């Protein structure tokens, strides 16, 4: 989590309506007759997938979540926003298994169904946006991560206010993404935006503020080095 605050920015926003999935079962339904649209079976598969994650059996978890998604999609159709939960669960596992391309497809689908249902400016897009941006961050695809984090910051600003912690945390990711692209001037600017929010609230001696100051100084140093090389 950015800045080490340990708080999820998405938790502060209204979530996508639950799809009724997420229960837990100690019995695998995989070998039972499962019918398309049987949401109870999807429930059991999702619970099973969660248990496999606890056991670090990611391949088994992926199979369970994939089955759950297929059932839910058959029941609700391919554009229902409640699909986002099942897509995200499967994408999370694929990301953990470093199947970034597979995870990307699912995170993008989750974002698309939420945007289609509620509009691109609705607060419920925050979760899918954050998931996709975090994937690109983990993948070192900074040029793809930066615009998503900028858009996410805009969502937080509209819903939570321009001086909210979550805005600052997202600006920190924006700055990191720009630094990753070698765009050090933009990175320095956004680290300054983080400080403008956090320093008055936490004080200049707070460890988080000091951490951001150090990153801003590094961006300024890299900018100077880059200018010297070009000169």
> pTM higher than 0.85 for the full model?
no
**Residue 12 pLDDT:** 41
What CATH architecture applies to the domain 2-17+81-230? Answer: Alpha Horseshoe (1.25)
**Residue 35 pLDDT:** 54
**Residue 231 pLDDT:** 57
Write out the two tokens for 30: 């995989």
Report CA 96 to chain centroid distance, whole Å: 13
Q: How far apart are alpha carbons 41 and 75 in whole angstroms?
A: 11
Whole-angstrom Cα Rg for the chain:
20
Per-residue tens of pLDDT for the chain, all 231 residues? 334 333 344 444 443 333 333 333 343 444 444 555 688 899 899 999 999 999 999 999 999 999 999 999 999 999 999 999 999 999 999 999 999 999 999 999 999 999 999 999 999 999 999 999 999 999 999 999 999 999 999 999 999 999 999 999 999 999 999 999 999 999 999 999 999 999 999 999 999 999 999 999 999 999 999 877 775
CB atoms within 10 A of CB 25: 15
Q: How far apart are alpha carbons 8 and 195 in whole angstroms?
A: 19
**Residue 37 pLDDT:** 65
Are residues 126 and 10 in contact, defined by beta-carbon separation less than 8 angstroms? yes
Write out the two tokens for 216: 């801003």
**Residue 228 pLDDT:** 73
CB atoms within 10 A of CB 119: 10
**Residue 163 pLDDT:** 96
Q: How far apart are alpha carbons 57 and 62 in whole angstroms?
A: 9
């Amino acid at each position: 989590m950015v800045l080490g605050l340990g708080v999820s920015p998405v938790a502060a926003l209204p979530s996508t309506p639950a799809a009724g999935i997420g229960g837990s079962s100690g019995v695998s339904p995989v070998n039972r007759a499962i019918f398309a649209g049987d949401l109870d079976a999807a429930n059991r598969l999702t619970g099973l997938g969660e248990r496999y994650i606890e056991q670090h059996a990611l391949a088994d978890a992926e199979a369970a979540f994939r089955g759950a998604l297929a059932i839910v999609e058959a029941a609700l159709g391919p554009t229902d926003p409640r699909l986002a939960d099942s897509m995200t669960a499967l994408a999370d596992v694929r990301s953990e298994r470093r199947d970034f391309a597979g995870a990307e497809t699912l995170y993008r689908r989750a974002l698309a169904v939420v945007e289609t249902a509620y509009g691109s400016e609705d607060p419920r897009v925050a979760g899918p946006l954050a998931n996709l941006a975090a994937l690109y961050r983990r993948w070192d695809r900074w040029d793809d991560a930066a615009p998503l984090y900028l858009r996410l910051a805009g969502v937080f600003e509209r819903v939570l206010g321009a001086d909210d912690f979550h805005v600052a945390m997202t600006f920190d990711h924006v700055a990191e993404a720009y630094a990753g692209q070698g765009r050090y001037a933009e990175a320095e600017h956004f680290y300054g935006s983080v400080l403008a929010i956090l320093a008055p609230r936490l004080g200049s001696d707070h460890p988080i503020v000091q951490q951001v100051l150090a990153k801003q100084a590094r961006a300024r140093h890299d900018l100077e080095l880059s200018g010297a090389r070009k000169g």
